[in-house]
Amino acid sequence: MKKLLKNLRPSQIKKGISYLKKEGFAATLRRYRAAGATTPDPKIAYQDWIINHEPKYAELQEQKKHMFEYSPLISIVVPTYNTKKQFLQELVDSLEQQTYGKWELCIADGNSENKLEIEETIKRNRRIKYVLLDENKNISGNTNEALKLCTGEYIGLLDHDDILAPFALYEVVKALNEDRQTDVIYSDEDKFTTLNGSRFQPHFKPDFSPDYLRSINYITHFFVLKKSLMDELGGFRDEYNGAQDYDIILRATEKAEKIVHIPKILYHWRVHENSTAQDIGAKQYAIDAGKKAIEAHIERNNMPGEVTSLDGKSIYRVRYEVDDEEKISIIIPNKDHVDDLKKCINSILSRSTYGNYEIVIVENNSTHASIFNYYKKLEKNNRIKVIYYEGDFNYSRINNFAIDSCNGKYLLFLNNDTEVITPEWLEEMVMFAQRDDVGAVGAKLLYPNGTIQHAGVVIGLGGIAGHVNSGLSRYEAGYFNRLRLVNNFGAVTGACLMIKKDDFVKVGGFDEELAVAFNDIDLCVKMLRLGKYNVYTPFCELFHYESKSRGLDLEGEKSLRFQREVKMAGEKWKDELEKGDPFYNPNLSLYSGIFEINK
């Protein structure tokens, strides 16, 4: 918390403590932003991060002395065509500076106009293998010719104008020694323009996130895979030129038994007028090739659907076919607040395009006659049933109680203070929930003013768990498009959460010891422990009038109960909190909620 408070004035701190007690972490953060409190310049923050986290000269020297038990030869593959001499020289220099020395550089040149310059650059190092082709075979063909030169056990892909951090191969081999079953490795990356200029726009990536990868090639660089796996894949394919790396990454990760992410900046991506680093939407042929690669990927994996690019960029949306229109049971706990419930129910009935659903309202100790009169009207609709839970309020117990009354294959837990915006909201959620490898599915929830209330939950944020992107506009892209694209998170909110009924029952439902807070996160943690992915989709939108029905959570006795549940959640998720959320990079702050760098 000190890192967050560091940028606040004393008056803001005093007000912030008051808001924190009354409104909680996410709401306080929204006020903090709205008040215009200063936040660290991301460029300055990143330069500080480099100083604080990357190895100094002495550590690099120690790395050179280190003897690994397993010391594989790494073949670095580089296709060239009219590559600037300076770019290639800097690439070679970055390899010669590696603290792990067992590498070879395999270059295939497509008969460049400046081939003599290229040959002059590489001839001094015997670890460089080079073939001059009779003609330019384009990037996939040139890369495949370079692959023929490889004799290493692992292959690293490097673009002709980029460079590696001096400790890149050391970190790769270190990871291989930690798990010899590793098939694929990828790292974090940043960008640069000139060798002596500042590095910028670091991409601190999540661990392997299949739904994010189907939305954007977030892996890109540095990508390393077993040579035997590359041989099995048959190399690169000409028909995917422009997104040939996307295609190979999709195919490799499909077959890989073990995928390892190294959360360190090992790759520096050069920005210049002809590079895709300059603008992800700069080349239409690359956008089209990326779409084609995803289409082939989902076909291979028996996941039929339609792929579209968004906003003329290399970012994508996949609309998967729903296998069968299985019944969805929408469970809504309720106490009084007839106007809120009416708005919620009316939005479901009037806007939903999915046909096969039922609504199960769990009545809990209402006292107003108006709500019971409304129930009588609702029960005339054969889609709707009202059941009665007479115990004290316990969110977990109330929802668990409802399960026996649900006839659906899928359960959708929905707060009574929500309002459907997207007509295809149920289709959008069930297309993910139907997959065997998916646990919980969450939506984009908005405050009435159109700002984000929920767009994914990070385990460990704020100490236990918290929403990311809270308070941002619904139209913002977020950190590397994670707000606007389907991707995976450690958890999603129970205010609108879909899950297979069988999975819910298998893990014992909601933990009834977590009466109000963190029960939804706990359910998602259970899904992670089953080896399933939790999915956030921004293409399912609802308004959420947060905590309107039950009031805020940090008042009087509620504060004591909340603290008990914080402690209980911390004990239950001890391993997850120690390891960190796999879908949130450890180099990002656990205090800001907007993907700021943890300096």
What are the angstrom distances between the C-alpha of 402 and each of 335, 397, 492, 595? 15, 9, 21, 37
Q: How confident is the model at residue 37 (pLDDT cuts 50, 70, 90)?
A: very low
Mean of the pLDDT values across residues 579-594? 96
What pLDDT does 24 receive? Answer: 46
Residue 191 has pLDDT above 80, yes or no: yes
Distance in angstroms (rounded) separating the CA atoms of residues 205 and 190 = 11
- Name, in order, each residue with C-beta under 8 angstroms of 111's C-beta and a sequence gap of 6 or more: 81, 132, 133, 134, 135, 136
What pLDDT does 198 receive? Answer: 85
The number of beta carbons lying within 10 Å of the beta carbon of residue 470 is 22
Task: Report strand pairing: 200-203 vs 316-320.
Answer: unpaired
Residue 524 has pLDDT above 70, yes or no: yes
Q: How confident is the model at residue 16 (pLDDT cuts 50, 70, 90)?
A: low
Q: How confident is the model at residue 591 (pLDDT cuts 50, 70, 90)?
A: very high
Closest Cα to residue 238, out of 229, 248, 230?
248
Model confidence pLDDT, tens digit, residues 95-104: 999 999 999 9
Q: Running DSSP on this structure, what letter comes out for residue 257?
A: S
Lowest mean pLDDT among 252-256, 474-478, 549-553: 549-553
- Name, in order, each residue with C-beta under 8 angstroms of 385's C-beta and a sequence gap of 6 or more: 358, 359, 360, 361, 379, 405
Residue 14 has pLDDT above 70, yes or no: no
Residues 388/422, Cβ–Cβ less than 8 Å: no
Lowest mean pLDDT among 233-237, 512-516, 524-528: 512-516
30 or 112, greater pLDDT: 112
| Strand (E) or helix (H) holding 541 | strand 533-544
Residues in the chain: 599
Residues 85/167, Cβ–Cβ less than 8 Å: no
> Average pLDDT over the chain, rounded to whole?
91
Model confidence pLDDT, tens digit, residues 125-162: 899 999 999 999 999 999 999 999 999 999 999 999 99
Distance in angstroms (rounded) separating the CA atoms of residues 596 and 44 = 12
E runs forming strands in 351-437: 357-363, 384-388, 410-414, 418-420
What pLDDT does 2 receive? Answer: 42
What pLDDT does 123 receive? Answer: 77
Model confidence pLDDT, tens digit, residues 444-458: 999 999 999 999 999
Mean of the pLDDT values across residues 17-27? 47
What pLDDT does 36 receive? Answer: 44
Residue 233 has pLDDT above 70, yes or no: yes
Mean of the pLDDT values across residues 195-216? 94
Q: Domains for the chain: give ranges and CATH numbers.
A: 2-39 (no CATH), 58-279 (3.90.550.10), 328-579 (3.90.550.10)
Share of the chain above pLDDT 70, in %: 90
What pLDDT does 281 receive? Answer: 52
Alpha-helical runs (H) found in 419-556: 425-433, 501-506, 519-529
Model confidence pLDDT, tens digit, residues 531-563: 999 999 999 999 999 754 454 555 667 788 888
Q: How confident is the model at residue 38 (pLDDT cuts 50, 70, 90)?
A: very low
What pLDDT does 530 receive? Answer: 98
Residue 407, SS3 per DSSP: coil
Model confidence pLDDT, tens digit, residues 267-324: 999 997 665 555 555 689 999 999 999 999 999 999 999 999 999 899 999 999 998 8
Share of the chain above pLDDT 90, in %: 81
Q: How confident is the model at residue 41 (pLDDT cuts 50, 70, 90)?
A: confident
At which residue do the structure tokens 């661990």 appear? 207
Residue type, 458: V
Burial letters for 512-524: b for 16+ Cβ neighbours within 10 Å, e otherwise? bebbebbbbbbbb
Model confidence pLDDT, tens digit, residues 60-88: 999 999 999 999 999 999 999 998 999 99
Model confidence pLDDT, tens digit, residues 368-417: 999 999 999 999 999 999 999 999 999 999 999 999 999 999 999 999 99
Mean of the pLDDT values across residues 332-346? 97
Model confidence pLDDT, tens digit, residues 122-132: 777 899 999 99
Query: Model's pTM, two decimal places?
Result: 0.91
